[in-house]
Structure formats: C-alpha cells, structure tokens
Amino acid sequence: MTTVQTTTAARKITEPKHTMKLGIIGLGKMGGNLALQAVEKNVGVIGKAQSKKAELEQQGVKIVSDYKAFALYLEHPRIIYLSLPAGPTVDSVIGELLPYLEKGDVVMDGGNSFYLDSIRREKELFTKGIYFLDCGTSGGLEAARHGACFMVGGKDEGIKIAEPILKSLAVKDGYVHTGQPGTGHFVKLVHNGIEFGMLQAIGEGVSLLLGGGNGFNLDLAKIFKNWSNGSVIRGWLIELMEKGLREQDFNKIESYIEDTGEVNWLVQDALNKEIPIPVISQSVMELFKSRAEDSDTYKAIALMRHGFGGHPFGKDEYIAKERKNSRIAGV
C-alpha cells in the first residue's frame, strides 16, 4: 500500500483553517446535505465526485474528481464518510481509495449495508491499519442537513478519532457508539424494521379514517395535526403525514412502494435465529402487496416515505436493482 505525504508543502489545495476536516464520497441527497451541515459548523469538507456540483461548491464544499487530491486535503488521521448504495459499490470505492490512505485513517460507511458485510470489511481494512466504522445514519434528508442520528459500530480507537465530527453533525443525543464492528448497521437494520411496522400501522389508520366511518367526511390533515400535539402516538411520522396531506393530492399518489430490501434481511435473520417478529414480517408482506394492489394504506406509506427520505412515488428501476444487489454476505 502506498502512502501520501501530508505536509503543507505537498498540498495542492489550500483553505482557511478548520478545527476538523471530513471527506465525503457520494454527494447525493444525503451526502450533499451532510456536507452542507458540516460546512456550516466550520468543518472543512471535501467531496469526491466525477462531475461538478455548483450548488455545493458555492456554499463551501470543495469537490475533486480524483482520490489523490481528495486524500491530500485531509489531514492524518483522515476521516472519510461513504454515502453510497449498499453492496458492491462500497467495496469498489474502498478498493480505489485504499492506495491513498495511511495507517490510522478512518473510513465510515454511512449507508444501509448488511451488518455481516460490514464485519467482513472491518476485518479486511484493519489488517491494513485502517479503521472501518459501520455508521447507521437515520433521520432522512432533513436530519442530514440539520442534525442526524448516528448509530456507529467499530473499534474504540477508530471511534475516538471520528467521534468529534459525528457528535458535531448529530442532533442532541443523536449519536451512540453501539459497540463492536457490525453493531452500528445491525442496530440501524432493526431500526428500519420498527419503522416499517410503524408506517404500516399509520397507513392502516389512514385507510380506516377514509373508509371506516359512517360516511364521515373527515379532514385528515387536521386530525394528524391534532395527533401531533399531546397524543400517545405523536411523533415525526405523524407530522410527516399531516405535511404530506397538505402538500400532495392524496388521490393521485401511486401506492406502489419501492424499497432497497434491508428489512427483508432482518426477517431472514430472525427466521434463522428463531426470533418471532410478526409485525415487522407482516409489514414486509404488505409492502409486497402494494406492488399489486391499490389502496389508501399504501398511498399513505408512500407519502410518509417520500416525506422523510425523498423516496419516489411508484416504480423505480434503480431502487429495484439495488434491492437485488445490496447485500453480499448470506445469513
């Protein structure tokens, strides 16, 4: 493995003094928003992308197209966040990046990778002296922009290096070191399963409100606003439901729901370990049904998913492909 000299004289990119620096590979919706938040908090940010992103550069994010310039900007120990689709892309990018890293650098996978893939990647990188952290990231686009929720697994030494940046980018109490390598993505996987169950229950509630009464003409947006204030079921998903009802024509929403398949892994894992998870399992089955049936329940779920993650309405070939390729290890 070759290394990169990091002296001031060797640097080709100069910038104002920052207390911390962060490299981000993957400047899509999540990675781009995280980069903008970091810049606002006086973190020096460099992104790796094949094309210019003027809207990010205008706000202080440095963007380069090659790994050498990317690595030269970051001071050792480098802290690098991958905001990439799960699966072979993560391994490919790590392989391209590795020649420009040094012992003690930290690579964080902020995507929804399968936790067994993360355990394998951590072992491979640690033999080369690189710390790998599986960084489950939640909260959607809004959180990436204003304060995320991080669930991070990895060795204590790597955590100590990356923790100051993660805490600065997390909402209050939104950062936790979950433990050994793999635990961050495992905890995020369980989180996503709980999310599916909650979405299903709210969606079914919408279906009841629209069709279960005695011909009642209910104002759903007002009801969800009421439920957001003081009720037992108040929370962000309820708030997103109200917001979506006010901004979208509910009747025109496609009820076909795409997903990248992570909760399928959780169900398979639970079956192998003989742990009963009937609600989460049924929520996956209901999501499959959305691709064959049209219903208010699925429209409501699609509306909330669009609200927190910008997920598309209707079919999406890219997501469908990711669903088949995003897990490498078996269970």
Alpha-carbon span 246 to 260, nearest angstrom: 27
Give me the amino acid identity at 122. Answer: E
Give me the amino acid identity at 243. Answer: K
Alpha-carbon span 46 to 157, nearest angstrom: 23
Strand order in the sheet with 131-138: 62-64, 43-48, 20-25, 79-82, 106-109, 131-138, 148-153, 170-179
Is position 188 annotated as part of the catalytic site?
yes
Is position 289 annotated as part of the catalytic site?
no
Name the catalytic one among 102, 122, 163, 195.
Answer: 195
**The token pair that represents 6 in the structure block:** 């990091």
Q: Where are the beta strands (DSSP E) in the chain?
A: 20-25, 43-48, 62-64, 79-82, 106-109, 131-138, 148-153, 170-179
Alpha-carbon span 320 to 258, nearest angstrom: 7
Name the catalytic one among 48, 62, 188, 299.
Answer: 188
Quickly count: other Cβ atoms within 10 Å of residue 221's Cβ. Answer: 16
Catalytic positions: 188, 195
